[in-house]
A and B are shown apart, each in its own frame.
Chain A
Amino acid sequence: MSSHIEPAGHPLLAEVNPVAIPRQELVHHGRDFHWITEKVCGIVEAKTPVWWWWCFGVAAFVASFTVAGLIYLVGTGVGVWGHANPVNWAWDIVNFVFWIGIGHAGTLISAILCLLRQKWRTSINRASEAMTIFAVVCAGIFPVFHVGRVWMAWYLFPIPNANYIWQNFRSPLEWDVFAVSTYGTVSVLFWYVGLLPDLGTMRDRFTAAGNLLKARLYGFFAMGWRGSNRHWANYEMAYLILAGVATPLVLSVHTIVSFDFAVSLIPGWHTTIFPPYFVAGAIFSGFGMVMTLMLPLRAIYRLEDLITQYHIDCMCKITLATGTMVGYAYAMEFFIAWYGANPYEGFAFINRAFGHYAWAYWIMITCNVITPQFFWSRRVRENTTLVWILSIFVNVGMWFERFVIIVTSLARDFLPSSWGYYSPSIVEIFTFFGTFGVFSVLFLLFIRFVPIMPMSEVKAVIPQADPHGTGH
């Protein structure tokens, strides 16, 4: 980029002489379009690697815990879980919020970073969107199965039923039904729309290679995409609008999830800051999971030219920023619990830190407030192993945050005669850990069969794509 610009009507422009701090390049080593196509398609076209089979086997085995746990639950009854008065929501809801929260980073990367024109999103957005979809699947298991009589779960939808009764729209749980369904649907649609051009590419490559079965399969889903600019114009507009609606969607979904708690009057639950606090926390945990997934992928598939240190830096900084927002919310909650002088609210906070679940509280504080602070250091951000470990701590911390919020407030609410203690049953534990297997199975299938990066979007951000020849 030239350092002077032609003065075209303003004398000051002649003095413009920016100091040189070049923008980070998004793709290293000046890779061209064809290299990108080969790199990404090569992963799908290659024979399934051995490590993939091992991982898949382990993941499927772990996923079987969830299957077994759910079958046992439905066959025997909700009593096999550890819930009892007064703690009627526990691991089930914690896990639900945990997984939904993870999903939010995918939509943030796809939608919000698109609206903010952050070009670095292009190499990680498809995998993150896939992560979102699979996280929503894992999340959805819990509200569906925690109702007890699962075969009547369809009563949650406003469809006429034999009891002639309608749903209670004053309940946040009903709003959750709509929020999570919409989120799942729109995430799939957004992900699919983003896939269209790449499916076209895969179709044509399989055709050229003579693999007609795969060509027809990918071609079916490609809808006849042929790269026409007249199509691109409508496509880009649709993509932008989807990004524009997915953004308020992701904010609203976790807001509505936070409403599950905040619309009540239970101490520790009823605080007005819950909506943005939950959203920030969700993005925080989601970015943790994105890094947990992308860093190994980057190493295994040698994607360092496409997922550069700049990408990792940005992800770490967003994790740090959202972690700080969560910290702000903790501080506000604590301060206002004191300021509001409500004795129950004050007790709830003291109890969290020093009561029966204090161990959970301090794990939460360590993982959520202290861990992200490491990302201030450039040396830490450049050490991918360390970043990976920290990203796992982020998710551990966020799981414990939901646990602390839900269980401590229920275990010790207004009347001491209603107090109780909760611990999870073995069925719950296996069901939850199994969902990591479910997630992994789906994610492994994704990386095996679907191009993990949106080739067309990555190509669009390299200097070669600039129609004015000057490079972005």
Chain B
Amino acid sequence: MTAPAATHSPAAAPAPTAALAGKFLVAGLVGLALTAAGFFLAHDSAGVALSYLVGISYWSAVVIGMLMLVLIHHIFDAGWSVVIRRQFEHGLAAFPWLFVLFLPLLASAWLKPGLIWPWMDLSHELHGGHTVGTDPLYLKKASFLNVKMFTAMTVGFFAVWIWLSARLRKASFTQDADGDKKWTFMSRKTAAFGIPLNALALTFAAIYWMKSLEYHWFSTMYGVWFFSNCIRAALAFGVVITVWLYQRGDYKGIYNTNQFHCLTALAFAFVVFWAYITFSQYFLIWNANVPEETFWYNIRESGDWWWIGMLLLFGHFFVPFLFWLVYRNKATRAPALKISLWIAAIILVDICYNVLPALKDHHGVPQPFFSVNLLWVLTSVVGIGGICGWAYLRSFARTKLIPIRDPRIVESLTYHEATAP
């Protein structure tokens, strides 16, 4: 092909993102500062700490989901997702910062054990009188649930995530420059072992960080539940990023309705998947009706938590499901953005539903959802999200907008396969 003729007027170069990155950083630092203030000054520091855990889990879910989607893209040798993959790769830049932001939680595990995870403090009193240290249900898994293992495993998770992200980013960014095939093959190999590795990492992260808060409870499905939320979060942010880039003008000539539709159709599929997983877990526990397992759900049906459960059923499943069913909502930016923002918010509610009821009073009744802890959830989400957004934007500024030398880039740019209802 001959060199392109200069007959078109090039699109106005979009504003650099440095200023925006700065805003995210400020928002992040402010959020973190407020959370810290809350922790040291507020009456119930356990509530603040738990809210901070919600924030970390939420943003980790988003970034883990992005990692999984990049890995899945490579293992499938997918065509449509090359454009959005670059944005997910930028999202992965948040992992090292998430680790740094997790350090306060690790610190609290060593300095004030039992503040967040009750099993860390052997003298923590359980409802019913005896302590963790004399609880056979703890002692049987003491080799797994101890602070050293927790720390080592958490470091391990982040090591896996940072390592996988680094490999994928390096391959993708270097290929922009040298157009070497080997980067594609390297990414495929990374995906082949990375997917099982990531699956195990996210499963055990969910078990350690969230499920062990109420360590009497267990569910083999928990890792899969967390995975479903991770993917949903990543897809929701994928839509948000796509629309943002289009509105800024970056994506003029790059954005393609059919490509976008693939993204939203995947989001639709995962609404169903999440509902399937969540329903299965609930239903099996409901049907067998064994008190060792049902108590976890019973707690979440007391007080206003029952309404939150209903909100999840309707807001995380029914509404998005019926909404995504309509082709127009999948293929048009404005409605897709609205529902994606909604889903991103509801995922936070889902994480709260899983984590916050661990805060109980003397009678074993959980603190209601509508309490002052929501404020700390908000500051944590803004704080950690600000840092993640800042990391994303810094990475964004450093590379090309799309992987210009990826073997499937033209397929992605000219994607014309949409025929769905």
Contacts and interface: CB of A to CB of B under 8 A. Distances in A.
Are A and B subunits of one complex?
Answer: yes
Interface residues of B, number: 64
A19 B180 contact: yes
Contacts of A1: 410
A21 B181 contact: yes
Interface string B158-184: 000000000000000001000111001
A1 B253 CA distance: 19
B405 interface: yes
A249 to B, nearest CB: 12
Interface string B378-421: 00000000000000000000001110111111100110010111
A439 to B, nearest CB: 30
A237 B222 CA distance: 37
Contact of B253 (A9, A20, A264, A275): A9
A16 B421 contact: no
Nearest to A16: B404
A251 B218 contact: no
B285 A272 contact: yes
Interface in A6-60: 6-21
A337 to B, nearest CB: 9
A342 to B, nearest CB: 7
B220 A332 contact: yes
B288 A8 contact: no
B220 A272 contact: yes
A267 B1 CA distance: 67
A340 B223 CA distance: 15
B288 A248 contact: no
A5 B280 contact: no
B413 A255 contact: no
- Counting chain B CB atoms within 10 Å of each CB, which of A117, A255, A274 scores highest? A117
Contacts of A177: none
Interface string B124-159: 000000000000110011001000000000000000
B1 A240 contact: no
Given A16-B410, A21-B181, A251-B276, A7 B4 contact: yes
Nearest to A170: B287
Interface residues of A, number: 56
B252 A9 contact: yes
Contact of A12 (B136, B224, B402, B417): B402
Nearest to A236: B419
Contact of A19 (B136, B179, B220): B179
B277 interface: yes
B253 A13 contact: yes
A240 B421 contact: yes
Contacts of A2: 1, 410
A11 B419 contact: no
A11 B10 contact: yes
Contacts of B218: 336, 339-340
A359 interface: no
A16 B10 contact: no
Contacts of A328: 196, 199-200
Interface in A317-368: 324, 328-329, 331-333, 336, 338-342
A13 B254 contact: yes
B361 interface: no
A241 interface: yes
A263 B254 contact: no
B280 A270 contact: no
B221 interface: yes
A275 B413 contact: no
A18 B406 contact: yes
B284 A263 contact: yes
Contacts of A338: 140-141
A9 B180 contact: no
B288 A265 contact: yes
A276 interface: yes
A262 interface: yes
A273 B409 contact: no
Nearest to B265: A115
Contact of B220 (A13, A115, A271): A271
B8 interface: yes
Contact of B203 (A21, A259, A324, A332): A332
27 contacts: A2-B410, A3-B410, A4-B4, A9-B252, A10-B11, A10-B253, A16-B402, A16-B404, A18-B404, A18-B405, A18-B407, A19-B175, A115-B269, A265-B289, A265-B290, A270-B288, A271-B220, A272-B219, A272-B281, A273-B219, A274-B280, A328-B196, A328-B200, A333-B220, A336-B219, A339-B141, A342-B292
Given A9-B253, A10-B253, A12-B404, 11 more contacts: A7-B253, A12-B254, A16-B410, A21-B181, A21-B184, A244-B421, A265-B289, A272-B219, A272-B285, A339-B141, A339-B218
Interface of B: 1, 4, 8, 10-11, 13, 136-137, 140-141, 144, 175, 179-181, 184, 192, 196, 199-200, 203, 207, 218-224, 251-254, 265, 269, 272, 276-277, 280-281, 283-285, 287-290, 292, 400-402, 404-410, 413-414, 417, 419-421
